[in-house]
A and B are shown apart, each in its own frame.
Chain A
Amino acid sequence: MKDRIKKLYMSLVFVFLYAPIAVLVIYSFNDSTSRGTWGGFTLRWYAELLSDRDIKTALYYTVVVALLAASISTIVGTFTAIGLYSFNKMPKAIMLNLNYLPVVNPDVVTGLALMILYLSANMRLGFLSMLLSHITFDIPYVILAVLPKLKSMNKHITEAALDLGATPMYALRKIVIPEIMPGIITGFLIAFTLSIDDFVISFFTTGSGVTNLSIVIYSMARRGVKPTINALSTLMLGAVLILLFLINKRSSLIDEQKNNGGFI
């Protein structure tokens, strides 16, 4: 009996979670602009979507900004984490708390603060300002992903390498970086997904024709419900599912290798 209630409750929650997504997917194939009627199966909206120049530009900028921002912030964040690791307690605490600021600050505040900064510096809002903003909100997450790996690393391995005559840089390259690699990859993936998904900060810090998918969806949604957004949602959902599948496969691969006593 109790199990039944649990199952019923969970099914209700899952209906709540998935019904809206299902509606989007179903209506993306509906050959009718009104949502009340089913006008038959069509791929019209997908065709319309693919010929939409705004969406193509937005997709391009979304991916380029996410890749650049994630790569740069992964590099900067990793080095910062390594540097912070050998900091004294006080400066380290100051840096880490400052680093937390974009994490706890509401996106609106981060976005408008950066906008004020760029405009005060007479910088034109556009690709560069958006990229800089993305890097700024990505780095904290990379640091937060890498730092725990450094803490749990066995210090003696690096010391042994140095004792055996490795230069600090060599030890860093051959010992430290490989040891913290899982953290670096996690950091990159977090940064990438945050960038892909970001709306608020991009909305405030972009301009002159540079948009990303979120901004396009927002401006389309404000004008009302449009079937092409349904098609776009379905495609984006598909992309997320593929990405998740790949990540899952990767992590199960790691688990397997760990169980076999191997290293990554």
Chain B
Amino acid sequence: MNKRQKFFAYPYGLWMTLFILLPILLVFLYSITSKDTNQIKTLRFTLDNYRKFFDPLYINVIIRSINLALISTFFCLVIGYPVAYIISTTNLKKRNTVLLLFILPMWMNMLLRTYAWMTILGNNGLINSFLNMLGLPSFRLLYNNTAIVIGMVYNFLPFMVLPIYTVLSKMDMKLVEASHDLGADHKTTFLRVIFPLSLPGVISGIIMVFMPAVSSFVIPRLLGGNRSLYIGTLIENLFLVTGDWHFGSSVAIIMMLIILASMSILNRFDVDKEGGAGLW
């Protein structure tokens, strides 16, 4: 193609520098300076913001967030894998409808989907009203970790199902037939042929669920209540309530590192199996 067309990409190069690169650099700058003054010229270099983070209070926030994100990812995998498998074995005519029905809730605003669970789990929500009707006492279902996990599984389940489904539907069915011909039963075929072949989908599913789960602040805020501290809600608090940009920036950088680290670990898995490569 024409060489002059290269210029078409230059404006966006400038845009990227201004709106993608510079903001991240500013976050980094704030994370390594002290909060004595808010004047850029007089910022003082310090690692206190990172040191502060190793307070057990904040370490617990990280552990809690990773823990809940892992639990949510686990449930998404356990619930989602059979779904992906069943959809991939449905006959072609019905498959698109099932797939559409499955994706449809994802088109609804995420806040509404989360809010819906507030109306179900709330103190005088659907479940508790039902229990009261039967003469049973109410339970505190909302504003705890279980509610957060339910909200995350509900919101992120499609992110697990779709990549697995894509891999499964592209799989060479002759391999499965060959396995049966060679005398393997259903269980062995699944464990030795189907599941290993679907691993790339499983890994991208895990990445796609874990990433938003660990960084979410809407779900923990709405379903976990005000007291629950999660990395996302901690960052929001630091920036919008306390106004402590310096410490907030260091937490944000740490969150970015957690996500990049978990992605590269999982990608390595994928590379070993597939021989492919990718930076992210």
Q: Please give the residue numbers on chain A whose beta carbons come within 8 Å of chain B beta carbons, in ascending order.
A: 6, 9-10, 13-14, 16-21, 23-24, 27, 34-37, 76-77, 79-80, 82-87, 95, 97-102, 104-110, 112-117, 120, 132-133, 136, 139, 155, 158, 162, 168, 171-172, 176, 193, 197, 199-200, 204, 213-214, 217-218, 221-222, 225, 229-230, 232-233, 236-237, 240, 243-244
- Do residues A225 and B110 form an inter-chain contact, with CB atoms below 8 A? no
How far apart are the CA atoms of A102 and B215 in the complex, in Å?
Answer: 14
Neighbouring B residues of A197 by C-beta, 8 Å = 109-110
Is the interface on chain B under 10, 10 to 19, 20 to 34, or 35 or more residues? 35 or more
**Interface-lining segment among B5-13, B53-61, B174-182, B192-200:** B5-13
Neighbouring B residues of A176 by C-beta, 8 Å = 1
How far apart are the CA atoms of A244 and B101 in the complex, in Å?
Answer: 12
Neighbouring B residues of A86 by C-beta, 8 Å = 1-3, 5-6
Is B239 part of the contact surface with A, judged by Cβ < 8 Å?
yes
Look across to chain B and name the residue whose beta carbon is closest to the beta carbon of A18: B105
Is B74 part of the contact surface with A, judged by Cβ < 8 Å?
no
A218 CB to closest chain B CB (Å) equals 6
Is B248 part of the contact surface with A, judged by Cβ < 8 Å?
yes
- Do residues B23 and A114 form an inter-chain contact, with CB atoms below 8 A? yes
Quick one: which of A27, A107, A112, A233 contacts B108, CB cutoff 8 A? A233
Query: Can you report 7 A-B residue pairs in the complex whose CB atoms are below 8 A from each other?
Result: A21-B116, A24-B112, A105-B24, A108-B232, A113-B23, A199-B109, A221-B118
- Do residues A35 and B122 form an inter-chain contact, with CB atoms below 8 A? yes
Neighbouring A residues of B263 by C-beta, 8 Å = 104
Neighbouring A residues of B22 by C-beta, 8 Å = 117
Neighbouring A residues of B235 by C-beta, 8 Å = 108-109, 112
- Do residues A98 and B26 form an inter-chain contact, with CB atoms below 8 A? no
- Do residues B245 and A116 form an inter-chain contact, with CB atoms below 8 A? yes
* Given A10-B98, A171-B2, 12 extra CB contacts under 8 A: A35-B129, A37-B129, A82-B8, A83-B5, A83-B6, A95-B16, A106-B256, A108-B252, A116-B27, A136-B15, A214-B109, A233-B109
Look across to chain B and name the residue whose beta carbon is closest to the beta carbon of A7: B86
Q: When A16-B154, A79-B9, A84-B9 are in contact, do A35 and B255 touch as well, CB less than 8 Å?
A: no
- Do residues B280 and A104 form an inter-chain contact, with CB atoms below 8 A? yes
Neighbouring A residues of B15 by C-beta, 8 Å = 76, 136, 139
- Do residues A218 and B218 form an inter-chain contact, with CB atoms below 8 A? yes
How far apart are the CA atoms of A87 and B221 in the complex, in Å?
Answer: 44
Neighbouring A residues of B40 by C-beta, 8 Å = 120
Look across to chain A and name the residue whose beta carbon is closest to the beta carbon of B129: A36
Neighbouring B residues of A83 by C-beta, 8 Å = 5-10, 12
- Do residues B79 and A35 form an inter-chain contact, with CB atoms below 8 A? no
Quick one: which of A36, A110, A221 contacts B115, CB cutoff 8 A? A221
Quick one: which of B11, B128, B218 contacts A200, CB cutoff 8 A? B218
How far apart are the CA atoms of A187 and B218 in the complex, in Å?
Answer: 26
- Do residues B23 and A6 form an inter-chain contact, with CB atoms below 8 A? no
- Do residues B5 and A99 form an inter-chain contact, with CB atoms below 8 A? no
Look across to chain A and name the residue whose beta carbon is closest to the beta carbon of B11: A76
Look across to chain A and name the residue whose beta carbon is closest to the beta carbon of B128: A36
How far apart are the CA atoms of A149 and B46 in the complex, in Å?
Answer: 48
Q: Which of B64-115 contact A (CB under 8 A)?
A: 79, 82-83, 86, 89, 98, 101-102, 104-105, 107-115
Neighbouring B residues of A80 by C-beta, 8 Å = 8-9, 11-12
B210 CB to closest chain A CB (Å) equals 11
B184 CB to closest chain A CB (Å) equals 17
- Do residues B119 and A35 form an inter-chain contact, with CB atoms below 8 A? yes
A257 CB to closest chain B CB (Å) equals 19
Is B156 part of the contact surface with A, judged by Cβ < 8 Å?
no
Look across to chain B and name the residue whose beta carbon is closest to the beta carbon of A76: B12
- Do residues A21 and B108 form an inter-chain contact, with CB atoms below 8 A? yes
B147 CB to closest chain A CB (Å) equals 13
Neighbouring B residues of A13 by C-beta, 8 Å = 79, 83, 102
A120 CB to closest chain B CB (Å) equals 6
A167 CB to closest chain B CB (Å) equals 10
- Do residues A98 and B20 form an inter-chain contact, with CB atoms below 8 A? yes
A225 CB to closest chain B CB (Å) equals 5
How far apart are the CA atoms of A220 and B169 in the complex, in Å?
Answer: 42
- Do residues A114 and B19 form an inter-chain contact, with CB atoms below 8 A? yes
B56 CB to closest chain A CB (Å) equals 23
- Do residues A113 and B218 form an inter-chain contact, with CB atoms below 8 A? no
How far apart are the CA atoms of A217 and B245 in the complex, in Å?
Answer: 26
- Do residues B79 and A136 form an inter-chain contact, with CB atoms below 8 A? no
Neighbouring A residues of B125 by C-beta, 8 Å = 35, 225
Neighbouring B residues of A104 by C-beta, 8 Å = 211, 259-260, 263, 280
Neighbouring A residues of B132 by C-beta, 8 Å = 36
Look across to chain A and name the residue whose beta carbon is closest to the beta carbon of B239: A112
How far apart are the CA atoms of A83 and B13 in the complex, in Å?
Answer: 11
Neighbouring A residues of B12 by C-beta, 8 Å = 76-77, 79-80, 83, 139
